[in-house]
Chains A and B, each alone.
Chain A
Amino acid sequence: MPILALRKVSKSFGALTVADAISFEVPQGQALGIIGPNGAGKSTLFNLITGNIAPDSGTVVLDGTDVTRLSPMQRCRMGVGRSFQIPQPFGKLTVFENLLVAGAFGQGKTEAEVTDSAAAILEQTGLLPKANRPAGGLSLLDRKRLELARAMATNPRLLLLDEIAGGLTDAECNSLVETIRGLHAAGTTIIWIEHVLHALNAVVERLLVLHFGRVIGIGAPAEIMTSREVQEIYLGVEI
Protein backbone atom coordinates (compact mmCIF):
# COMPACT_ATOMS: atom_id res chain seq x y z
CA MET A 1 0.00 0.00 0.00
CA PRO A 2 1.42 3.43 -0.91
CA ILE A 3 1.97 5.80 2.03
CA LEU A 4 0.40 8.62 0.02
CA ALA A 5 -2.01 8.65 -2.87
CA LEU A 6 -3.65 11.63 -4.58
CA ARG A 7 -6.67 10.87 -6.71
CA LYS A 8 -7.81 13.52 -9.19
CA VAL A 9 -7.10 16.37 -6.78
CA SER A 10 -8.14 19.75 -8.20
CA LYS A 11 -8.00 23.25 -6.80
CA SER A 12 -8.69 26.64 -8.37
CA PHE A 13 -8.29 30.13 -7.01
CA GLY A 14 -10.89 31.96 -9.06
CA ALA A 15 -10.04 31.43 -12.71
CA LEU A 16 -6.55 30.19 -11.90
CA THR A 17 -6.28 26.40 -11.75
CA VAL A 18 -3.41 25.55 -9.41
CA ALA A 19 -4.05 21.82 -9.25
CA ASP A 20 -5.63 20.11 -12.25
CA ALA A 21 -6.77 16.53 -11.53
CA ILE A 22 -3.47 15.57 -9.94
CA SER A 23 -3.07 11.84 -9.37
CA PHE A 24 0.03 10.01 -8.19
CA GLU A 25 1.17 7.57 -5.54
CA VAL A 26 4.25 7.49 -3.36
CA PRO A 27 5.35 4.05 -2.13
CA GLN A 28 6.52 3.65 1.45
CA GLY A 29 10.18 4.70 1.85
CA GLN A 30 10.57 6.39 -1.53
CA ALA A 31 12.20 9.78 -2.10
CA LEU A 32 10.26 11.77 -4.66
CA GLY A 33 11.45 15.06 -6.09
CA ILE A 34 9.05 17.68 -7.44
CA ILE A 35 10.19 20.18 -10.00
CA GLY A 36 8.46 22.75 -12.13
CA PRO A 37 8.65 26.43 -12.99
CA ASN A 38 7.66 29.11 -10.50
CA GLY A 39 3.91 29.26 -10.16
CA ALA A 40 3.46 25.66 -11.30
CA GLY A 41 1.55 24.88 -8.11
CA LYS A 42 4.26 23.02 -6.19
CA SER A 43 3.70 24.67 -2.80
CA THR A 44 -0.07 24.43 -3.34
CA LEU A 45 0.38 20.71 -3.87
CA PHE A 46 2.12 20.50 -0.48
CA ASN A 47 -0.67 22.49 1.14
CA LEU A 48 -3.19 20.07 -0.33
CA ILE A 49 -1.23 17.13 1.09
CA THR A 50 -0.85 18.69 4.55
CA GLY A 51 -4.40 20.02 4.73
CA ASN A 52 -3.63 23.73 4.75
CA ILE A 53 -5.74 24.01 1.61
CA ALA A 54 -8.88 21.96 0.97
CA PRO A 55 -9.24 20.65 -2.61
CA ASP A 56 -12.29 21.51 -4.73
CA SER A 57 -12.52 17.85 -5.71
CA GLY A 58 -10.55 14.63 -5.43
CA THR A 59 -9.16 12.75 -2.46
CA VAL A 60 -5.91 12.62 -0.50
CA VAL A 61 -5.21 9.17 0.94
CA LEU A 62 -2.67 8.55 3.66
CA ASP A 63 -1.86 4.94 4.54
CA GLY A 64 -5.10 3.85 2.92
CA THR A 65 -7.16 6.35 4.94
CA ASP A 66 -9.00 9.18 3.22
CA VAL A 67 -7.66 12.30 4.96
CA THR A 68 -9.13 14.87 2.55
CA ARG A 69 -11.23 16.42 5.31
CA LEU A 70 -8.72 16.18 8.17
CA SER A 71 -6.92 19.23 9.57
CA PRO A 72 -3.15 19.82 9.28
CA MET A 73 -2.88 19.04 13.00
CA GLN A 74 -4.50 15.63 12.55
CA ARG A 75 -2.38 14.83 9.51
CA CYS A 76 0.76 15.80 11.41
CA ARG A 77 -0.17 13.34 14.13
CA MET A 78 -0.63 10.69 11.44
CA GLY A 79 3.00 11.19 10.49
CA VAL A 80 3.12 14.04 7.97
CA GLY A 81 5.93 16.52 8.68
CA ARG A 82 6.67 19.57 6.57
CA SER A 83 8.95 22.53 6.14
CA PHE A 84 7.68 25.85 4.83
CA GLN A 85 9.20 27.54 1.78
CA ILE A 86 9.15 30.84 3.65
CA PRO A 87 10.42 29.89 7.13
CA GLN A 88 7.74 30.07 9.81
CA PRO A 89 9.62 29.86 13.13
CA PHE A 90 8.00 30.31 16.52
CA GLY A 91 9.86 33.60 16.86
CA LYS A 92 9.71 34.24 20.58
CA LEU A 93 10.53 30.65 21.49
CA THR A 94 14.12 29.47 21.43
CA VAL A 95 15.41 27.17 18.73
CA PHE A 96 15.31 24.29 21.21
CA GLU A 97 11.77 25.13 22.28
CA ASN A 98 10.72 25.14 18.62
CA LEU A 99 11.80 21.50 18.41
CA LEU A 100 10.40 20.67 21.82
CA VAL A 101 6.89 21.76 20.88
CA ALA A 102 7.10 19.94 17.55
CA GLY A 103 8.35 16.77 19.23
CA ALA A 104 5.88 16.84 22.08
CA PHE A 105 2.78 17.54 19.99
CA GLY A 106 3.78 15.91 16.71
CA GLN A 107 4.51 12.66 18.50
CA GLY A 108 2.05 13.01 21.40
CA LYS A 109 4.78 12.67 24.01
CA THR A 110 5.95 14.61 27.06
CA GLU A 111 8.67 17.25 26.84
CA ALA A 112 11.07 15.02 28.79
CA GLU A 113 10.54 12.14 26.37
CA VAL A 114 11.55 14.22 23.35
CA THR A 115 14.38 16.27 24.88
CA ASP A 116 17.18 13.93 23.81
CA SER A 117 15.91 13.45 20.28
CA ALA A 118 15.39 17.22 19.90
CA ALA A 119 18.96 17.85 21.04
CA ALA A 120 20.25 15.17 18.66
CA ILE A 121 18.42 16.80 15.74
CA LEU A 122 19.90 20.18 16.69
CA GLU A 123 23.35 18.65 16.59
CA GLN A 124 22.67 16.94 13.27
CA THR A 125 21.44 20.16 11.65
CA GLY A 126 24.20 22.33 13.12
CA LEU A 127 21.85 24.36 15.31
CA LEU A 128 23.10 23.12 18.69
CA PRO A 129 25.25 26.23 19.40
CA LYS A 130 22.14 28.37 18.91
CA ALA A 131 19.78 26.12 20.86
CA ASN A 132 18.90 28.70 23.50
CA ARG A 133 18.52 31.72 21.22
CA PRO A 134 15.12 33.10 20.21
CA ALA A 135 14.26 31.71 16.79
CA GLY A 136 13.08 35.14 15.61
CA GLY A 137 16.67 36.41 15.64
CA LEU A 138 18.13 33.71 13.39
CA SER A 139 19.70 34.36 9.98
CA LEU A 140 17.81 33.17 6.91
CA LEU A 141 20.10 30.18 6.59
CA ASP A 142 19.53 29.14 10.19
CA ARG A 143 15.80 29.63 9.76
CA LYS A 144 15.90 27.18 6.86
CA ARG A 145 17.83 24.74 9.01
CA LEU A 146 15.25 25.21 11.73
CA GLU A 147 12.47 24.41 9.25
CA LEU A 148 14.09 21.05 8.53
CA ALA A 149 14.97 20.41 12.18
CA ARG A 150 11.46 21.19 13.41
CA ALA A 151 9.88 18.97 10.76
CA MET A 152 12.27 16.17 11.78
CA ALA A 153 11.32 16.64 15.42
CA THR A 154 7.76 15.50 14.72
CA ASN A 155 9.34 12.16 13.71
CA PRO A 156 7.45 12.03 10.42
CA ARG A 157 6.97 8.95 8.28
CA LEU A 158 6.26 11.25 5.35
CA LEU A 159 8.45 14.35 5.22
CA LEU A 160 7.61 17.23 2.86
CA LEU A 161 10.48 19.61 2.16
CA ASP A 162 9.78 22.87 0.36
CA GLU A 163 12.87 24.47 -1.21
CA ILE A 164 15.23 24.13 1.71
CA ALA A 165 18.46 24.11 -0.32
CA GLY A 166 18.01 27.51 -1.98
CA GLY A 167 20.64 30.07 -1.05
CA LEU A 168 23.01 27.60 0.60
CA THR A 169 26.74 27.38 -0.15
CA ASP A 170 28.02 24.12 -1.66
CA ALA A 171 29.36 22.91 1.68
CA GLU A 172 26.09 23.71 3.45
CA CYS A 173 24.15 22.09 0.66
CA ASN A 174 26.25 18.93 0.93
CA SER A 175 25.67 18.65 4.64
CA LEU A 176 21.95 19.18 4.07
CA VAL A 177 21.94 16.42 1.45
CA GLU A 178 23.72 14.12 3.92
CA THR A 179 21.09 14.81 6.58
CA ILE A 180 18.23 14.11 4.18
CA ARG A 181 19.92 10.96 2.88
CA GLY A 182 20.26 9.79 6.46
CA LEU A 183 16.53 10.28 7.02
CA HIS A 184 15.76 8.48 3.78
CA ALA A 185 18.07 5.60 4.68
CA ALA A 186 16.27 5.30 8.02
CA GLY A 187 13.04 4.65 6.14
CA THR A 188 11.38 8.07 6.03
CA THR A 189 9.38 8.72 2.88
CA ILE A 190 10.41 12.07 1.42
CA ILE A 191 8.79 14.45 -1.02
CA TRP A 192 11.09 17.31 -1.87
CA ILE A 193 10.34 20.43 -3.91
CA GLU A 194 13.62 21.92 -5.06
CA HIS A 195 15.16 24.13 -7.73
CA VAL A 196 18.70 23.09 -6.78
CA LEU A 197 18.67 20.04 -9.04
CA HIS A 198 22.04 18.58 -8.12
CA ALA A 199 20.98 18.43 -4.46
CA LEU A 200 17.67 16.88 -5.43
CA ASN A 201 19.21 14.32 -7.76
CA ALA A 202 21.65 13.24 -5.04
CA VAL A 203 18.71 11.96 -3.01
CA VAL A 204 15.57 11.22 -4.99
CA GLU A 205 14.70 8.05 -6.88
CA ARG A 206 11.81 9.51 -8.77
CA LEU A 207 10.91 12.90 -10.18
CA LEU A 208 7.56 14.52 -10.73
CA VAL A 209 7.22 17.52 -13.03
CA LEU A 210 4.43 20.00 -12.43
CA HIS A 211 3.36 22.62 -14.94
CA PHE A 212 0.29 24.87 -14.61
CA GLY A 213 -1.10 22.56 -11.95
CA ARG A 214 -0.76 19.44 -14.09
CA VAL A 215 1.56 16.47 -13.71
CA ILE A 216 3.38 16.35 -17.03
CA GLY A 217 5.85 13.66 -16.14
CA ILE A 218 6.73 11.24 -13.39
CA GLY A 219 9.51 8.63 -13.44
CA ALA A 220 13.21 7.99 -12.98
CA PRO A 221 15.21 11.24 -12.79
CA ALA A 222 17.45 10.45 -15.76
CA GLU A 223 14.45 9.65 -17.91
CA ILE A 224 12.54 12.74 -16.84
CA MET A 225 15.39 15.20 -17.24
CA THR A 226 16.01 14.05 -20.83
CA SER A 227 12.38 13.81 -21.89
CA ARG A 228 11.45 16.14 -24.68
CA GLU A 229 8.35 17.55 -23.07
CA VAL A 230 10.14 18.42 -19.83
CA GLN A 231 12.99 20.08 -21.64
CA GLU A 232 10.59 22.12 -23.69
CA ILE A 233 8.40 23.25 -20.89
CA TYR A 234 10.53 23.25 -17.79
CA LEU A 235 13.94 24.11 -19.15
CA GLY A 236 12.57 26.30 -21.89
CA VAL A 237 14.58 24.58 -24.64
CA GLU A 238 13.32 24.99 -28.16
CA ILE A 239 13.56 21.73 -30.04
Chain B
Amino acid sequence: MANPVSYRVETRTRASGRAAIAAAALVVLAIGLPAFAGRSLLQDMFVILSMLTLAQCWNLLAGYAGLVSVGQQAFVGIGAYAMFAGVIFWGWDPVPAILLGGVAAAVLAIPTAFFAFRLAGAYFAIGTWVIAEVVRLSVAQWKSLGGGTGTSLPREATSDMMFVEPIASLFGLRDAAARDVLAYWLALALALGTIAGVYALLRSRQGLALAAVRDNRVAARAVGVDAQRMNWVVFVAAAAITGICGGLIYMQTARISPDAAFAVLDWTGYVIFIVVIGGIGTIEGPILGVIVFFALQRLLADYGSWYLLILGVIGIAVMLFAPRGLWGLIHDRTGIDLFPIRRRLIIKK
Protein backbone atom coordinates (compact mmCIF):
# COMPACT_ATOMS: atom_id res chain seq x y z
CA MET B 1 0.00 0.00 0.00
CA ALA B 2 1.33 3.42 -0.91
CA ASN B 3 2.02 5.72 1.98
CA PRO B 4 -0.29 8.72 1.61
CA VAL B 5 1.93 10.88 3.81
CA SER B 6 5.30 12.10 2.69
CA TYR B 7 7.79 14.37 4.32
CA ARG B 8 10.15 17.06 3.26
CA VAL B 9 12.62 19.23 5.11
CA GLU B 10 12.75 22.97 4.85
CA THR B 11 15.16 25.50 6.28
CA ARG B 12 14.17 28.56 4.26
CA THR B 13 11.92 31.17 5.89
CA ARG B 14 10.09 34.05 4.28
CA ALA B 15 12.36 36.56 6.04
CA SER B 16 15.47 34.70 4.85
CA GLY B 17 14.32 34.95 1.22
CA ARG B 18 13.91 38.71 1.53
CA ALA B 19 17.15 38.97 3.49
CA ALA B 20 19.00 37.18 0.70
CA ILE B 21 17.78 39.77 -1.83
CA ALA B 22 18.67 42.65 0.50
CA ALA B 23 22.06 41.08 1.19
CA ALA B 24 22.79 40.73 -2.53
CA ALA B 25 21.99 44.42 -3.02
CA LEU B 26 24.21 45.34 -0.06
CA VAL B 27 27.07 43.27 -1.42
CA VAL B 28 26.85 45.01 -4.80
CA LEU B 29 26.79 48.37 -3.02
CA ALA B 30 29.77 47.36 -0.87
CA ILE B 31 31.81 46.26 -3.87
CA GLY B 32 31.09 49.57 -5.63
CA LEU B 33 31.75 51.65 -2.50
CA PRO B 34 35.28 52.78 -3.47
CA ALA B 35 33.82 54.54 -6.54
CA PHE B 36 32.19 57.19 -4.39
CA ALA B 37 33.57 56.85 -0.84
CA GLY B 38 36.53 58.74 0.57
CA ARG B 39 39.62 57.20 2.13
CA SER B 40 38.52 57.61 5.74
CA LEU B 41 35.25 55.76 5.13
CA LEU B 42 37.11 52.93 3.43
CA GLN B 43 39.54 52.74 6.34
CA ASP B 44 36.63 52.59 8.79
CA MET B 45 35.00 49.89 6.72
CA PHE B 46 38.28 47.98 6.72
CA VAL B 47 38.28 47.95 10.53
CA ILE B 48 34.62 46.92 10.67
CA LEU B 49 35.04 44.11 8.15
CA SER B 50 38.21 42.70 9.67
CA MET B 51 36.69 42.78 13.17
CA LEU B 52 33.60 41.10 11.71
CA THR B 53 35.74 38.28 10.32
CA LEU B 54 37.46 37.77 13.68
CA ALA B 55 34.09 37.87 15.44
CA GLN B 56 32.57 35.26 13.13
CA CYS B 57 35.54 32.98 13.80
CA TRP B 58 35.31 33.40 17.56
CA ASN B 59 31.56 32.90 17.42
CA LEU B 60 32.06 29.65 15.52
CA LEU B 61 34.42 28.48 18.26
CA ALA B 62 32.56 29.65 21.34
CA GLY B 63 28.99 29.86 20.10
CA TYR B 64 28.82 26.63 18.14
CA ALA B 65 31.66 24.40 19.32
CA GLY B 66 31.69 25.57 22.95
CA LEU B 67 35.42 26.35 22.70
CA VAL B 68 35.77 29.62 24.60
CA SER B 69 39.22 30.69 23.46
CA VAL B 70 40.92 33.76 24.91
CA GLY B 71 43.97 33.15 22.76
CA GLN B 72 42.85 34.10 19.26
CA GLN B 73 45.46 36.86 19.24
CA ALA B 74 48.01 34.07 18.81
CA PHE B 75 46.60 33.41 15.35
CA VAL B 76 46.22 37.07 14.39
CA GLY B 77 49.83 37.64 15.43
CA ILE B 78 51.34 34.54 13.85
CA GLY B 79 49.38 35.23 10.65
CA ALA B 80 50.66 38.79 10.53
CA TYR B 81 54.25 37.74 11.24
CA ALA B 82 54.10 34.95 8.65
CA MET B 83 52.95 37.51 6.09
CA PHE B 84 55.87 39.79 7.03
CA ALA B 85 58.28 36.84 6.88
CA GLY B 86 57.07 35.95 3.39
CA VAL B 87 57.63 39.52 2.20
CA ILE B 88 60.92 40.21 3.97
CA PHE B 89 62.69 36.83 3.68
CA TRP B 90 61.37 35.44 0.43
CA GLY B 91 60.40 38.61 -1.40
CA TRP B 92 56.74 37.57 -1.78
CA ASP B 93 54.16 40.13 -2.78
CA PRO B 94 52.20 41.06 0.39
CA VAL B 95 48.85 40.02 -1.13
CA PRO B 96 49.62 36.31 -1.65
CA ALA B 97 51.71 36.42 1.56
CA ILE B 98 48.46 36.98 3.46
CA LEU B 99 47.57 33.38 2.66
CA LEU B 100 50.85 32.33 4.23
CA GLY B 101 49.41 33.83 7.42
CA GLY B 102 46.49 31.43 7.19
CA VAL B 103 48.81 28.45 6.75
CA ALA B 104 51.02 29.50 9.68
CA ALA B 105 48.00 29.95 11.95
CA ALA B 106 46.58 26.54 10.98
CA VAL B 107 49.95 24.93 11.71
CA LEU B 108 50.15 26.69 15.09
CA ALA B 109 46.57 25.60 15.83
CA ILE B 110 47.55 21.92 15.76
CA PRO B 111 49.87 21.87 18.81
CA THR B 112 47.65 24.49 20.49
CA ALA B 113 44.62 22.22 20.16
CA PHE B 114 46.67 19.20 21.22
CA PHE B 115 47.39 20.83 24.58
CA ALA B 116 44.30 23.02 25.06
CA PHE B 117 41.79 20.23 24.27
CA ARG B 118 43.00 18.45 27.37
CA LEU B 119 41.46 21.32 29.33
CA ALA B 120 37.78 22.10 29.71
CA GLY B 121 35.75 25.27 30.28
CA ALA B 122 37.60 28.05 32.08
CA TYR B 123 40.83 26.04 32.01
CA PHE B 124 40.63 25.86 28.23
CA ALA B 125 40.16 29.65 28.08
CA ILE B 126 43.17 30.30 30.30
CA GLY B 127 45.23 27.65 28.50
CA THR B 128 44.71 29.30 25.13
CA TRP B 129 45.66 32.66 26.61
CA VAL B 130 48.86 31.24 28.08
CA ILE B 131 49.78 29.64 24.75
CA ALA B 132 49.20 32.98 22.99
CA GLU B 133 51.55 34.69 25.45
CA VAL B 134 54.19 32.02 24.85
CA VAL B 135 53.92 32.61 21.10
CA ARG B 136 54.15 36.39 21.58
CA LEU B 137 57.28 36.10 23.74
CA SER B 138 58.85 33.67 21.26
CA VAL B 139 58.17 35.92 18.28
CA ALA B 140 59.63 38.87 20.21
CA GLN B 141 62.96 36.96 20.19
CA TRP B 142 62.93 36.84 16.38
CA LYS B 143 65.59 39.47 15.72
CA SER B 144 65.41 39.45 11.92
CA LEU B 145 61.73 40.48 12.20
CA GLY B 146 62.53 43.32 14.56
CA GLY B 147 62.44 41.45 17.89
CA GLY B 148 60.47 43.19 20.60
CA THR B 149 60.25 46.53 18.81
CA GLY B 150 58.89 45.20 15.53
CA THR B 151 59.48 46.18 11.94
CA SER B 152 57.87 47.66 8.83
CA LEU B 153 57.12 46.25 5.40
CA PRO B 154 59.90 47.28 2.96
CA ARG B 155 58.94 50.34 0.92
CA GLU B 156 59.36 48.55 -2.42
CA ALA B 157 57.03 45.75 -1.29
CA THR B 158 54.20 48.16 -0.52
CA SER B 159 54.73 50.36 -3.55
CA ASP B 160 54.80 47.48 -6.06
CA MET B 161 51.95 45.61 -4.44
CA MET B 162 49.78 43.47 -6.67
CA PHE B 163 46.54 45.08 -7.98
CA VAL B 164 47.48 48.56 -6.72
CA GLU B 165 48.45 49.86 -10.15
CA PRO B 166 45.19 48.88 -11.94
CA ILE B 167 43.08 50.16 -9.03
CA ALA B 168 44.93 53.48 -9.09
CA SER B 169 44.29 53.96 -12.79
CA LEU B 170 40.69 52.71 -12.56
CA PHE B 171 39.66 55.26 -9.94
CA GLY B 172 42.34 57.87 -10.78
CA LEU B 173 43.86 57.56 -7.29
CA ARG B 174 47.34 57.92 -5.84
CA ASP B 175 49.02 54.67 -4.78
CA ALA B 176 48.37 55.12 -1.06
CA ALA B 177 44.63 55.57 -1.64
CA ALA B 178 44.59 52.65 -4.08
CA ARG B 179 46.15 50.44 -1.37
CA ASP B 180 43.25 51.37 0.91
CA VAL B 181 40.79 50.32 -1.81
CA LEU B 182 42.62 47.02 -2.22
CA ALA B 183 42.68 46.37 1.54
CA TYR B 184 38.99 47.21 1.74
CA TRP B 185 38.09 44.82 -1.06
CA LEU B 186 40.17 42.03 0.44
CA ALA B 187 38.57 42.58 3.86
CA LEU B 188 35.14 42.57 2.23
CA ALA B 189 35.89 39.32 0.38
CA LEU B 190 37.25 37.71 3.57
CA ALA B 191 34.27 38.78 5.71
CA LEU B 192 31.72 37.64 3.11
CA GLY B 193 33.63 34.41 2.50
CA THR B 194 33.78 33.71 6.24
CA ILE B 195 30.05 34.31 6.72
CA ALA B 196 29.24 32.15 3.69
CA GLY B 197 31.59 29.44 4.93
CA VAL B 198 30.19 29.42 8.47
CA TYR B 199 26.64 29.36 7.12
CA ALA B 200 27.44 26.51 4.73
CA LEU B 201 29.05 24.55 7.58
CA LEU B 202 26.04 25.04 9.87
CA ARG B 203 23.62 23.95 7.15
CA SER B 204 25.65 20.84 6.40
CA ARG B 205 25.56 17.46 8.07
CA GLN B 206 28.69 18.47 10.02
CA GLY B 207 26.86 21.54 11.31
CA LEU B 208 24.18 19.33 12.77
CA ALA B 209 26.86 17.26 14.49
CA LEU B 210 28.47 20.42 15.83
CA ALA B 211 25.17 21.52 17.35
CA ALA B 212 24.68 18.08 18.89
CA VAL B 213 28.14 18.16 20.48
CA ARG B 214 27.46 21.67 21.80
CA ASP B 215 24.16 20.58 23.36
CA ASN B 216 25.27 17.26 24.82
CA ARG B 217 28.67 15.76 24.21
CA VAL B 218 27.94 12.37 25.80
CA ALA B 219 24.73 11.87 23.85
CA ALA B 220 26.41 13.03 20.63
CA ARG B 221 29.04 10.32 20.99
CA ALA B 222 26.31 7.79 21.72
CA VAL B 223 24.67 8.49 18.35
CA GLY B 224 27.91 8.14 16.40
CA VAL B 225 29.19 11.72 16.27
CA ASP B 226 32.96 12.10 16.47
CA ALA B 227 32.91 15.00 18.93
CA GLN B 228 36.67 15.35 19.15
CA ARG B 229 37.10 15.50 15.38
CA MET B 230 34.43 18.23 15.11
CA ASN B 231 36.32 20.33 17.64
CA TRP B 232 39.58 19.88 15.74
CA VAL B 233 38.06 20.85 12.42
CA VAL B 234 36.43 23.97 13.83
CA PHE B 235 39.47 25.04 15.84
CA VAL B 236 41.94 24.71 12.97
CA ALA B 237 39.57 26.31 10.42
CA ALA B 238 38.84 29.27 12.72
CA ALA B 239 42.58 29.68 13.36
CA ALA B 240 43.36 29.66 9.62
CA ILE B 241 40.81 32.39 8.85
CA THR B 242 41.92 34.37 11.90
CA GLY B 243 45.52 34.10 10.61
CA ILE B 244 44.53 35.30 7.15
CA CYS B 245 42.71 38.21 8.79
CA GLY B 246 45.83 38.98 10.84
CA GLY B 247 47.94 39.02 7.70
CA LEU B 248 45.47 41.34 6.02
CA ILE B 249 45.26 43.74 8.97
CA TYR B 250 49.05 44.09 9.07
CA MET B 251 49.33 44.38 5.30
CA GLN B 252 47.16 47.46 5.70
CA THR B 253 49.10 48.97 8.60
CA ALA B 254 52.45 47.90 7.02
CA ARG B 255 54.08 48.02 10.49
CA ILE B 256 54.15 45.27 13.08
CA SER B 257 55.29 44.69 16.66
CA PRO B 258 54.69 41.72 18.95
CA ASP B 259 52.77 43.79 21.50
CA ALA B 260 50.33 45.05 18.87
CA ALA B 261 49.99 41.87 16.81
CA PHE B 262 49.45 39.67 19.88
CA ALA B 263 47.26 42.13 21.82
CA VAL B 264 44.66 40.18 23.78
CA LEU B 265 42.45 43.26 24.14
CA ASP B 266 42.36 44.14 20.44
CA TRP B 267 42.05 40.70 18.88
CA THR B 268 40.15 38.74 21.49
CA GLY B 269 38.71 41.15 24.09
CA TYR B 270 36.90 43.40 21.62
CA VAL B 271 35.94 40.38 19.56
CA ILE B 272 34.28 38.72 22.56
CA PHE B 273 32.50 42.01 23.28
CA ILE B 274 31.20 42.14 19.70
CA VAL B 275 29.91 38.58 19.77
CA VAL B 276 28.38 38.82 23.25
CA ILE B 277 26.49 42.07 22.72
CA GLY B 278 25.42 41.05 19.21
CA GLY B 279 24.29 37.58 20.16
CA ILE B 280 26.46 34.49 20.58
CA GLY B 281 25.64 31.40 18.57
CA THR B 282 24.07 33.28 15.68
CA ILE B 283 25.55 34.58 12.44
CA GLU B 284 23.47 37.77 12.70
CA GLY B 285 24.83 38.57 16.18
CA PRO B 286 28.43 39.43 15.25
CA ILE B 287 27.21 41.55 12.31
CA LEU B 288 25.02 43.60 14.64
CA GLY B 289 27.68 43.57 17.35
CA VAL B 290 30.45 44.98 15.17
CA ILE B 291 28.24 47.93 14.16
CA VAL B 292 27.43 48.70 17.81
CA PHE B 293 31.07 48.28 18.78
CA PHE B 294 32.29 50.63 16.07
CA ALA B 295 29.66 53.25 16.92
CA LEU B 296 30.66 53.11 20.61
CA GLN B 297 34.32 53.34 19.72
CA ARG B 298 33.65 56.49 17.69
CA LEU B 299 31.36 58.00 20.30
CA LEU B 300 33.72 57.39 23.22
CA ALA B 301 37.05 57.91 21.41
CA ASP B 302 37.83 61.05 23.39
CA TYR B 303 37.25 59.59 26.84
CA GLY B 304 40.37 57.43 27.23
CA SER B 305 40.00 54.72 29.81
CA TRP B 306 36.34 55.61 30.36
CA TYR B 307 35.83 54.02 26.96
CA LEU B 308 36.91 50.60 28.22
CA LEU B 309 34.92 51.00 31.44
CA ILE B 310 31.78 51.79 29.50
CA LEU B 311 32.34 48.87 27.11
CA GLY B 312 32.73 46.61 30.13
CA VAL B 313 29.56 47.88 31.78
CA ILE B 314 27.58 47.44 28.57
CA GLY B 315 28.99 43.94 28.15
CA ILE B 316 27.99 42.97 31.70
CA ALA B 317 24.53 44.51 31.31
CA VAL B 318 23.90 42.57 28.11
CA MET B 319 25.09 39.32 29.70
CA LEU B 320 22.78 39.85 32.67
CA PHE B 321 19.66 41.15 30.97
CA ALA B 322 19.88 39.86 27.41
CA PRO B 323 22.17 36.83 27.53
CA ARG B 324 21.51 36.05 23.90
CA GLY B 325 22.51 39.55 22.86
CA LEU B 326 20.78 42.20 20.80
CA TRP B 327 20.01 39.79 18.01
CA GLY B 328 18.42 37.49 20.60
CA LEU B 329 16.08 40.33 21.60
CA ILE B 330 15.18 41.05 17.99
CA HIS B 331 14.70 37.39 17.19
CA ASP B 332 12.43 36.87 20.21
CA ARG B 333 10.25 39.83 19.27
CA THR B 334 10.02 39.18 15.54
CA GLY B 335 10.95 35.52 15.03
CA ILE B 336 13.18 36.58 12.14
CA ASP B 337 16.07 34.36 11.07
CA LEU B 338 18.24 35.91 8.40
CA PHE B 339 20.45 32.81 8.24
CA PRO B 340 18.06 29.98 9.07
CA ILE B 341 19.62 26.62 9.90
CA ARG B 342 16.67 24.93 11.58
CA ARG B 343 15.55 21.86 9.63
CA ARG B 344 11.76 21.90 9.80
CA LEU B 345 9.88 18.73 9.03
CA ILE B 346 6.96 19.50 6.71
CA ILE B 347 4.24 16.89 6.30
CA LYS B 348 2.65 16.71 2.87
CA LYS B 349 -0.70 14.98 2.92
Contact = CB atoms under 8 A, between A and B. Distances in A.
Interface stretch (A57-65, A69-77, A168-176, A219-227): A69-77
Interface of A: 50, 52, 71-73, 76-77, 81-82, 84, 88-94, 96-98, 100-102, 104-108, 110-112, 115-116, 118-119, 122, 128, 131-132, 150, 153-154
Contacts of B212: 90, 93, 98, 101, 105
Contacts of B222: 50, 52, 72-73, 76, 82, 84, 88
Contact of A111 (B208, B214, B226): B208
Contacts of A115: 7-9, 345
Contacts of A108: 224
Given A119-B7, A132-B344, A110 B223 contact: no
Given A84-B219, A92-B214, A94-B343, A73 B226 contact: yes
Contacts of A106: 223-224
Given A76-B224, A89-B219, A115-B7, A101 B345 contact: no
A105 B215 contact: no
Judged by DSSP, the binding face of A is: helix
B205 interface: yes
B216 to A, nearest CB: 5
Contact of A88 (B205, B219, B226, B345): B219
- Contact-size category for B: 20 to 34
Nearest to B7: A119
A154 B224 contact: yes
Contacts of A116: 6-7
Contacts of B224: 73, 76-77, 102, 105-108, 154
B223 A105 contact: yes
B93 to A, nearest CB: 42
B314 to A, nearest CB: 26
Interface string B224-245: 1111000000000000000000
Given A88-B222, A94-B343, A116-B7, 4 more contacts: A93-B208, A101-B225, A115-B7, A132-B345
